[in-house]
Structure 1
Amino acid sequence: MKIFLWLFIFFTTFCIMEFMAWFTHKYVMHGFLWSLHQDHHHKHHGSWWERNDFFFVFYAVVSMACIMLPPSYTFGIGKPIGFGILAYGIAYFLVHDIFIHQRFKLFRNANNWYAKGVRRAHKIHHKHLGKEKGECFGMLFVPFKYFKR
């Protein structure tokens, strides 16, 4: 029975992270921490590392803390929460950093309807280079209007 509870918590955490990514992006990255996120929209640097990557580090630390803290600190559900955050982080990195922004030259030839829709939605977001009017979407739950067959 415990395995089903852990799986439920893991998948629920993964889905909640989609909301957290949207919320953080809209209200934190395009809000009071725009100074960290700005270099993601304006490539005025020659480095592979962006200040924007500190958001990834933050969520990685939260994930590791959930996994590594003893059950008495996490009500016994820290590990599935931590691994749910980790799984979302891996999925986000694959879709956003590798597939969309091509930080590593992989998945270049993916041209199915889902791939095109995700790319289209992200281009609309990056069309606005400033702090304001940055239309935000999740990574997995992109509005269907961007998917054309």
Structure 2
Amino acid sequence: MQTALFILFFIATYCIMEFMAWFTHKYVMHGFLWSLHKDHHKKDHDSWFERNDAFFVFYAVVSISCFLLWKYDIFWAGLPIGIGIFAYGLSYFLVHDIFIHQRFKLFRNANNWYAKGVRRAHKMHHKHLGKEDGECFGMLFVPFKYFKNNK
């Protein structure tokens, strides 16, 4: 029973994190914390690091806090929740920073249906250089229209 509950909390957390990423991106990054996110929408960067990376740090702190709640027997579900947040953060980093933005030159030849759709959706998001009029704020689950005619 406990293993099944652990897996359920982990999967639920991972899936909820996609919603959290969408919500944070749309209403926080393109809202009151645009000052941290706007350098991510610039064509040229002064540095490999962006102020936008502060959002990774925030979610890392949340994940670590969950691990600590579990470690000190305060909240048993802290472990599967912390691992779920970490796993989503790793997925986000691999897809967004490595695959899409090529911060490391890996996965350059990924050219399948899903990869093309995610790239197309992200490209449409970045065509807007300001915080208004954005589209496609999700990361792993993007609207189906970006996969159409994706040959």
Identify the TM-score tier after normalising by the shorter chain.
Answer: over 0.9
Residue pairs, 1:32-111, within 5 angstroms: 32-69=32-69, 70-72=72-74, 74=75, 76-111=76-111
Contact 1:71–1:78 under 8 Å retained in 2: no
Identity %: 76
Q: Secondary structure at the match of 1:136?
A: coil
Aligned residues: 147
2:129 counterpart residue number: 129
Partners of 1:125 and 1:94 in 2: CA distance: 18
Q: Give the RMSD, CA atoms, in angstroms.
A: 1.0
**Deviation larger for 47-56 or 37-46:** 37-46
1:16 counterpart residue number: 16
Deviations 1:26-68, CA, capped at 9 Å, x for gaps: 0000000000000000145321110000000000000011012
Q: Secondary structure at the match of 1:71?
A: coil
For structure 2, the 5+ residue unaligned runs are: none
2:23 alignment partner AA = F
Report the TM-score when normalising by structure 2.
0.94
For structure 1, the 5+ residue unaligned runs are: none
Deviations 1:90-109, CA, capped at 9 Å, x for gaps: 00000000000000000000
Contact 2:66–2:78 under 8 Å retained in 1: yes
